[in-house]
Amino acid sequence: MNKIEGVIFDWAGTTVDFGCFAPVNVFVDIFKNVGIDVTMEEARAPMGMLKIDHIRAMLTIPRVSALWEDKFGRAFNDQDVNDLFAEFEPALMASLAEYTDPIPEVIETVEILRNQGLKIGSTTGYTNTMMDVVVPNALKKGYSPDCYITADETNSFGRPYPYMIYRNMEKLQLTASWKVVKVGDTVSDIKEGVQAGVWSVGVIVGSSEMGLSLTEFNQLSEAEKEAVMTKTEQVFKENGADFTIKTMSELPSLIEHINGLIAEGKRPNVG
């Protein structure tokens, strides 16, 4: 059957943890602990990558690199990356369970998709150890995909490499990349989908790219909400997203639309 067979979701900022705050706060803290003040924007910029790769990417931001050299009198090296990650992992683990609430509309949307016969996979920038906390806590609150893959299972090749998507396809027995939709909330998610040859969809409200908590978002005026949503959408589109959705409730109708495109012979990521 030539139609979408499965959807692969990201975790934090897409299905749980509105605004993706669990990791971003810890990234800020571990840099502060070595005497370097990074901004929330700098901490979010590489979001979606494997966490050790995220730390390395933060260190290559020109302003952060300059601060590091001023502080230590040399450029950062791999040992510095490993040392920061050694601080990051236990700090994240200590708070991770608190950031596993499903984002509004996710549970209902997944139920609709399953009732339509779609399989539900997932990829993440978290490690297996981190997912040992996230998965059971999200399950208690009503969200559970059919499978999840971390970069621990792809020789540490996380996003934007496509391998975690391919492993999902293998586990879920999905027959072709163009019959798969990837939904995420970061530039890394979009690039992962593009490089896997699947339909790449950015979800706007609750995303790390937007960077707002649910309370902060709800406090905006309608005009401010529109402005921040438009800005987030543009970032996703500039990085190759086939589509964006404001919230998860739009996904079932988008999949119907994609099925129509497939019937016309259209494929993802080709303009």
d(CA 169, CA 74): 44
Identify the active-site residue in 17, 51, 182, 189. Answer: 51
To the query of whether residue 237 is one of the catalytic residues in this protein, the response is: no
Identify the active-site residue in 10, 17, 189, 242. Answer: 10
Could you tell me the two tokens for 141? Answer: 């609150």
Could you tell me the two tokens for 206? Answer: 């609750």
Asked whether 240 and 51 are in contact (CB, 8 A), the reply is no
To the query of whether residue 10 is one of the catalytic residues in this protein, the response is: yes
Q: Which amino acid is at 22?
A: A
End-to-end CA distance of the chain: 24
Q: Which amino acid is at 249?
A: S
d(CA 59, CA 37): 12
Q: Is 83 annotated as a binding residue?
A: no
d(CA 225, CA 218): 8
d(CA 149, CA 74): 37
**Site of tokens 């030539």:** 2
3-state secondary structure at position 95: helix
Q: Cα dist. 249→22, 47, 141, 205, 234 in Å?
A: 24, 24, 18, 11, 20
d(CA 9, CA 121): 6
Q: Is 29 annotated as a binding residue?
A: no
The DSSP code for 157 is -
Q: Is 45 annotated as a binding residue?
A: no
Give the residue ranges of the annotated binding site for Mg(2+).
10, 12, 185
**What positions carry a catalytic annotation?**
10, 51
Give the residue ranges of the annotated binding site.
10, 12, 185
